[in-house]
C-alpha cells in the first residue's frame, strides 16, 4: 500500500471552499438533486450506503449493456445481420466508450455522482424505448453507441467513487464489490434470458433491463452523494485518518491539486498495468460477446443452454472477487494474488481451449473449467483494481479519475481491436449463425429427397428453374426419372420438398465447409487469448505495493504514527493562530 504524503504545512483557509451557484428560493430538496457534495467524511453506515448504490448502479449499467450478447443470434436473424455487422456494433460502441472514458477523467474537477445518476436515466430510457423499437440495424447500432458512451463514463466515475469512500485498508474488498458490476450484470443477463427466452422475444429482454435501470436511477437520484474535492483529493490509508483528512481539508489548495493531471498519469507504472489487465480480460470479453456464438456453432447449444452454462463462470467469479478482496485487505498485499490468479487463468484457459475439437466434452466438464477460470480471474482483478488506484495515488491522489480514465480508454480500445479480429479469425461464424439452423432444419425436412438430389445436384438446379413439370424439356425429365430408378413417387417427393432443397442448394455447401473449419478457427482464437493473458503477468511488477504482508503491516503502523504527529501539529497551529478578542 502507498505510504502517507508529507504534511502540507498550509495554514488554515480563511474562506470556505467555493460552492456551485444555486438559484435563490430553490428548495433544498431540489438543490440536492444536483449538488451532492459532502463536506465531512461520512460515518460508516452512510459510507456503506453510498458504496452500495454505486455497486447497484454499476450492475444495472452492465446488465443494460450486455443484454445484446445474450440474444445475439436472435437479433442477427431479426435484422438480417452478418456476424461481422454484429461485431461492428461492439467495435463502434467500445470506440465511442473509450473516448467517453477519457472525457470522464474530468470528473476530478466536475465530480462523479451526477455522471452516474443521470447516466442511469439516459441508459434506462434508451434500453426501454429506443433499442427494442429500432426499425433497422443502423438505428440499433446508433442507440447502442449512445449506451456505450454512458457506460464509458460510468467505467471511470463508479470506481472513482468507490476509491473516494474506501481507504486503502479495505480498498480491495470495496473494489471486489464494485467489480460485481460487470460480473453480476452478466449473471443477471444470463439468468433472466435463460429463464424467459422461451416465452419472450429479444425485444422483451431489453425492456426488462430498461425497467430495472429506471428503478435504480430513482434510488441513485435520491440517495447518492460524493465527497467534496478537499476531502477526495487526499490520500486516506485507513479510517483512522479521517480526522487528519478533515483537518487538512481546511487548508488544502484545491486548484493546486488539479494541475497537470494527464502529464502525471503518463507513467510506465500507470500505462503498462492498464494495458496488462485489458489483455488479461480477453477471455472475459469473449464470454460476454461471443460465448453464445461459440457454443451454438461448435457444439450446437441453444441460447438458453449457453447462458445457463455461463452462469457457472459468473457466479464463481463473483464469489472469488469478494472473498479475495477481503483476504487481500487482511494481508495488506495485492501482488501475490495477481500473480497466482494470472497464472491460474492461463492454465484453466488452456484446458478449456483443448476441448474445442472434442465434441464429446460434457456440459459439466465445461462448467467446472469455467468455474476455474472465473475463480482465478477473481483472484487477479479485485487486488488489481485496489493496487492500480493505489499506484495512481502514489503520483497524485487528486488525479484518481484521470488515472482511471487512462485505464478505461485502454480497456475499451483493446475490446474494440479484439472484436475486429474475432470475425477475421473465426470466419466460420457468419455462415453458421446466419444459415446453420435453417440448413439443419432443411436437411431433416428433405429426408430421402435429399439423397436423390445429391446424385446430380446440377440437374435438379436446372429442374428448379421451371415453373411446373409440364414445361421441363423431355430430355431432363428422362434423366431425372433414370436417377430415380423409374420411381415417379421419388420425383414427386423432390417437388414437394423444393423449398428445403433450395436452402440446401444455396447454403448447404457453405455451412458444411464452415463446420469443418470452425474447430481450428476457434482454437486459434483461444491461443491468442492465452498469449494475451500471459502478457499480463510481468505488468504486475511495476505497480505500487508490497509483496510481503509483514512489511505491509509495518508500513501501515509507521503511517499511523505520522498521522498522529501531523494531526497534533495542525491542531497546535490552529490553536496558536486563535487570537481572543
The more confident residue out of 481 and 424 is 424
Please choose, from the candidates 396, 391, 367, the residue with its C-alpha nearest in 3D space to the C-alpha of residue 307. Answer: 367
Which triple of cell numbers denotes residue 393? 495515488
User: Under a CB-based contact definition with an 8 Å cutoff, are residues 332 and 552 in contact?
Assistant: yes
Q: Is 250 helix (H, G, I), strand (E, B) or coil?
A: coil
* CA 427 – CA 419 distance, rounded (Å): 13
pLDDT of residue 26: 67
Helices (H), 299-399: 303-331, 335-353, 363-395
Percent of the chain scoring above 90 in pLDDT: 44
Chain CA centroid to CA 347, Å: 22
User: Under a CB-based contact definition with an 8 Å cutoff, are residues 278 and 539 in contact?
Assistant: no
Q: How many residues does the chain have?
A: 581
- pLDDT tier for residue 95 given thresholds of 50, 70 and 90: very high
pLDDT tens column, 114-127? 999 999 999 999 99
User: Under a CB-based contact definition with an 8 Å cutoff, are residues 480 and 491 in contact?
Assistant: yes
User: Under a CB-based contact definition with an 8 Å cutoff, are residues 388 and 536 in contact?
Assistant: no
Q: What's the N-to-C CA distance of the chain in angstroms?
A: 46
Please choose, from the candidates 109, 184, 154, the residue with its C-alpha nearest in 3D space to the C-alpha of residue 374. Answer: 184
Q: Is 136 helix (H, G, I), strand (E, B) or coil?
A: coil
Pairing between β-strand 37-38 and β-strand 226-227 as defined by DSSP bridges = parallel
Element holding 37 (H helix, E strand): strand 37-38
* CA 546 – CA 552 distance, rounded (Å): 6
User: Under a CB-based contact definition with an 8 Å cutoff, are residues 419 and 87 in contact?
Assistant: yes
pLDDT tens column, 124-183? 999 999 999 999 999 999 999 999 999 889 888 999 999 999 897 788 888 988 888 888
Please choose, from the candidates 70, 531, 143, 526, the residue with its C-alpha nearest in 3D space to the C-alpha of residue 290. Answer: 70
* CA 407 – CA 98 distance, rounded (Å): 9
Percent of the chain scoring above 70 in pLDDT: 93
Q: Is 358 exposed, middle or buried (0-12, 13-18, 19+ CB in 10 A)?
A: exposed
pLDDT of residue 134: 96
Q: Is the model's pTM score more than 0.85?
A: no
Rama region for 485: left / alpha / beta (φ>0; ψ in -120 to 50; rest) = left
Q: Is 226 helix (H, G, I), strand (E, B) or coil?
A: strand
Print burial letters for 43-65: b (CB count within 10 Å at least 16), e (below 16): eeeebeebbebbbbbbbbbbbbb
pLDDT of residue 576: 66
Chain CA centroid to CA 469, Å: 58
pLDDT tens column, 360-394? 899 999 999 999 999 999 999 999 999 999 999 99
How much is the average pLDDT of 45-57?
94
Element holding 75 (H helix, E strand): helix 72-79
β-pair partners for 227: 38
Element holding 64 (H helix, E strand): helix 44-70
pLDDT tens column, 199-215? 899 999 999 999 999 99
CA angle 249, 255, 257 (to 5 degrees): 70
Rama region for 440: left / alpha / beta (φ>0; ψ in -120 to 50; rest) = alpha
β-pair partners for 38: 227
pLDDT of residue 10: 37
pLDDT of residue 25: 62
User: Under a CB-based contact definition with an 8 Å cutoff, are residues 131 and 144 in contact?
Assistant: yes
Does 282 have pLDDT greater than 70?
yes
Which triple of cell numbers denotes residue 513? 465447409
Does 9 have pLDDT greater than 70?
no
Does 564 have pLDDT greater than 60?
yes
User: Under a CB-based contact definition with an 8 Å cutoff, are residues 1 and 169 in contact?
Assistant: yes
Amino acid at each position: 500500500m502507498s505510504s502517507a504524503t508529507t504534511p502540507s504545512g498550509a495554514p488554515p483557509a480563511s474562506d470556505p471552499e467555493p460552492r456551485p451557484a444555486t438559484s435563490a428560493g430553490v428548495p433544498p430538496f431540489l438543490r440536492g438533486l444536483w449538488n451532492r457534495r459532502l463536506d465531512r467524511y461520512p460515518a460508516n453506515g452512510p459510507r456503506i450506503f453510498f458504496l452500495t448504490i454505486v455497486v447497484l448502479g454499476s450492475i444495472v449499467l452492465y446488465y443494460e449493456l450486455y443484454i445484446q450478447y445474450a440474444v445475439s443470434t436472435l437479433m442477427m436473424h431479426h435484422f438480417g445481420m452478418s456476424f461481422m455487422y454484429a461485431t461492428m456494433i461492439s467495435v463502434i460502441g467500445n470506440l465511442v466508450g473509450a473516448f467517453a472514458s477519457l472525457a470522464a477523467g474530468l470528473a476530478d474537477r466536475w465530480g462523479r455522482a451526477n455522471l452516474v445518476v443521470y447516466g442511469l436515466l439516459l441508459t434506462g430510457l434508451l434500453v426501454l424505448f429506443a433499442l427494442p423499437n429500432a426499425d433497422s440495424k443502423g438505428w440499433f447500432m446508433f442507440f447502442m453507441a449512445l449506451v456505450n458512451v454512458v457506460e464509458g463514463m460510468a467505467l471511470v466515475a463508479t470506481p472513482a467513487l468507490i476509491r473516494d469512500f474506501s481507504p486503502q485498508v479495505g480498498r480491495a474488498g470495496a473494489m471486489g464489490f464494485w467489480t460485481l458490476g460487470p460480473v453480476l450484470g452478466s449473471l443477471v443477463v444470463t439468468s433472466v434470458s435463460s429463464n424467459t427466452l422461451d416465452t419472450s422475444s429479444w425485444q422483451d429482454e431489453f425492456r426488462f433491463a430498461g425497467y430495472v435501470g429506471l428503478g435504480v436511477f430513482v434510488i441513485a437520484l435520491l440517495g447518492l452523494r460524493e465527497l467534496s474535492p478537499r476531502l477526495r483529493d487526499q490520500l486516506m490509508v485507513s479510517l483512522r485518518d479521517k480526522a487528519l483528512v478533515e483537518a487538512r481539508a481546511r487548508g488544502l489548495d484545491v486548484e493546486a491539486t488539479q494541475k497537470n493531471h494527464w502529464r502525471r498519469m503518463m507513467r510506465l507504472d500507470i500505462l503498462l498495468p492498464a494495458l496488462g489487465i485489458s489483455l488479461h480480460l480477453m477471455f472475459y470479453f469473449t464470454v460476454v460477446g461471443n460465448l453464445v456464438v461459440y457454443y451454438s456453432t461448435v457444439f450446437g447449444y441453444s441460447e438458453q443452454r449457453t447462458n445457463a452454462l455461463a452462469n457457472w463462470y459468473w457466479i464463481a467469479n463473483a464469489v472469488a472477487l469478494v472473498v479475495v478482496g477481503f483476504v487481500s485487505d487482511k494481508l495488506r498485499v495485492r501482488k501475490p494474488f495477481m500473480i497466482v490468479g494470472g497464472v491460474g487463468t492461463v492454465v484453466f484457459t488452456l484446458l478449456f481451449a483443448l476441448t474445442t475439437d472434442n465434441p464429446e466434452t460434457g456440459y459439466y466438464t465445461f462448467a467446472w473449467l469455467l468455474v476455474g477460470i472465473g475463480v482465478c480471474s477473481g483472484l487477479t482483478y479485485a487486488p488489481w483494481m485496489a493496487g492500480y488506484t493505489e499506484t495512481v495515488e502514489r503520483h497524485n491522489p487528486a488525479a484518481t479519475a484521470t488515472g482511471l480514465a487512462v485505464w478505461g480508454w485502454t480497456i475499451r480500445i483493446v475490446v474494440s481491436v479484439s472484436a475486429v479480429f474475432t470475425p477475421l479469425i473465426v470466419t466460420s461464424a457468419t455462415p453458421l449463425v446466419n444459415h446453420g439452423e435453417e440448413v439443419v432444419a432443411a436437411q431433416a425436412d428433405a429426408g430421402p429427397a435429399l439423397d436423390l438430389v445429391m446424385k446430380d445436384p446440377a440437374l435438379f438446379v436446372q429442374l428448379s428453374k421451371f415453373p411446373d413439370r409440364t414445361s421441363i424439356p423431355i430430355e431432363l425429365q428422362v434423366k431425372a426419372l433414370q436417377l430415380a430408378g423409374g420411381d415417379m413417387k421419388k420425383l414427386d417427393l423432390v417437388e414437394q420438398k423444393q423449398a428445403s432443397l433450395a436452402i440446401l442448394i444455396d447454403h448447404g455447401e457453405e455451412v458444411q465447409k464452415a463446420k469443418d473449419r470452425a474447430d481450428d478457427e476457434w482454437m486459434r482464437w483461444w491461443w491468442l487469448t492465452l498469449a494475451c493473458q500471459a502478457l499480463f503477468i510481468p505488468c504486475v511488477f511495476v505497480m505500487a505495493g508490497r509483496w510481503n504482508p509483514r512489511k505491509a503491516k509495518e508500513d501501515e503502523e509507521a503511517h499511523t504514527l505520522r498521522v498522529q504527529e501531523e494531526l497534533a501539529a495542525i491542531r497546535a497551529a490552529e490553536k496558536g493562530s486563535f487570537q481572543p478578542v
